[in-house]
Amino acid sequence: MIKKSFLIFIALLSILLGYGCTNVQDEYYEVHIIEGDTDFYYVDVSEGTELLGQNVFENDDTHAIYLYMPEEGVTFDYTQFFSFLGDCFVYRHIETGKYYIAKEDDMAPKVYQFQIDKEAFEGVE
């Protein structure tokens, strides 16, 4: 009887702990927006990724996301170097109001190629 009660107690405790640890975290890139005639959504890869819980977001929409590294004191225009990352689903962080996209495995080669191409572009100038 004591063993059975102890097993039930352990099972209930395990279930309780399992529900308490549901804040699964993933890596996200912050999405920046340059507002204009058409909004320009971009990720600055030099910022890296952030580890955030999945349950702190509300859905926004799918947007065309670009890779772009802004230069301080320089206003963005379309002659600067940027690259298309893809159409990504954007999430809005509930507490901060910042926008994020989930980091996907297929993004790594695009980010790497962007960095190589950006160095080549800067070398031509």
Question: What CA–CA distance (Å, rounded) separates 125 from 118?
Answer: 11
Judged against a pLDDT cut of 90, whether residue 66 lies above it is answered with yes
User: Would you state the pLDDT for residue 36?
Assistant: 86
User: Would you state the pLDDT for residue 19?
Assistant: 52
User: Would you state the pLDDT for residue 6?
Assistant: 58
pTM of the model: 0.76
User: Would you state the pLDDT for residue 85?
Assistant: 95
Do residues 66 and 43 make contact, with C-beta atoms less than 8 angstroms apart?
yes
User: Would you state the pLDDT for residue 2?
Assistant: 74
Mean pLDDT in residue range 13-21: 54
pLDDT band for position 18 (cuts 50, 70, 90) = low
Residue that has been written with the tokens 């952030």 in this structure: 50
User: Would you state the pLDDT for residue 25?
Assistant: 81
Residue that has been written with the tokens 């809005």 in this structure: 92
Mean pLDDT in residue range 74-80: 90
Do residues 110 and 87 make contact, with C-beta atoms less than 8 angstroms apart?
no
Which of 66 and 58 is assigned the larger pLDDT?
Answer: 66
* Tally of CB atoms within 10 A around 43: 26
Which of 6 and 49 is assigned the larger pLDDT?
Answer: 49
CA 90 to chain centre: 8
Do residues 87 and 62 make contact, with C-beta atoms less than 8 angstroms apart?
yes
